[in-house]
Amino acid sequence: MRRGEQARGDILDAAERLIAERGVQVPLRDIALAAGQRNNSAVNYHFRNRQDLIDAVVLRRLEPMERERGLMLAALGPDHDVEALLRVMVLPFTTVPSRYYARFLQAANLHLRADIDDAHGSAWRQVLGELARAIPTPDSAARHRRVTAIGTTMFALLADLERATHDSDAATGGVEEIISMLAAMLTAAVPHTVAEAAGQRK
């Protein structure tokens, strides 16, 4: 590996860990120092800005996860249920070779770009589309809100699992409990006021 590629990888590792531990506004010079870079502006040499750095951390993890999701989707039978789709969504996060990625996603949630996976496969979007159709309402706005909430909740639950696995002795129900919780949240009845408003707009 060339020196520049090694430095870039070290910066991505440091950014993932420090953002997970300290939040998205951690100083870039602290990331450079943690990556073993003597130049405080090393991060800006490799990445245009903080958002570019966050995107790069996500893309590095996204590509192998999308390949795994594609294989899992191809293996699903025609009568798969919501929990099977959620496994496609959730399980690849558990194979990421990192102790900090789930907590990074939770910390950086407001900075994650919705379009970042456009050029790197469609498995994630396919799963989200099928999950949205499983929500018991015809209201597209209500479906969008719940899918967004599922993502936020998933990141939080995975971060808790990661924390319990690596940094504490806290009990955890594991991945299957996370999937069951997300399935219940996804398929819960939509309040009548939302459903009625959707019917009135038709």
Q: How far apart are CA 141 and CA 138, in angstroms?
A: 9
Q: What distances in angstroms separate CA 119 from CA 11, 83, 91, 116, one per listed residue?
A: 23, 27, 22, 7
Q: How far apart are CA 152 and CA 99, in angstroms?
A: 19
pLDDT of residue 143: 94
pLDDT of residue 122: 81
Q: How far apart are CA 13 and CA 99, in angstroms?
A: 10
Q: Which residues of the chain have pLDDT under 50?
A: 194-195, 202
pLDDT of residue 173: 78
pLDDT of residue 2: 80
Tokens of 157: 């639950």
pTM: 0.86
Provide DSSP, 91-114: GGGGGSS-SSHHHHHHHTGGG--T
pLDDT of residue 199: 54
pLDDT of residue 11: 98
H or E stretch at 34:
helix 28-34
pLDDT of residue 194: 47
- Read off the pLDDT of residues 73-128 as tens digits, 9 standing for 90 and up: 999 988 899 999 999 999 999 999 999 999 999 999 999 987 765 555 589 989 99
CB 160 within 8 A of CB 172: yes
Q: Which residues in 126-195 belong to E strands, given as ranges?
A: none
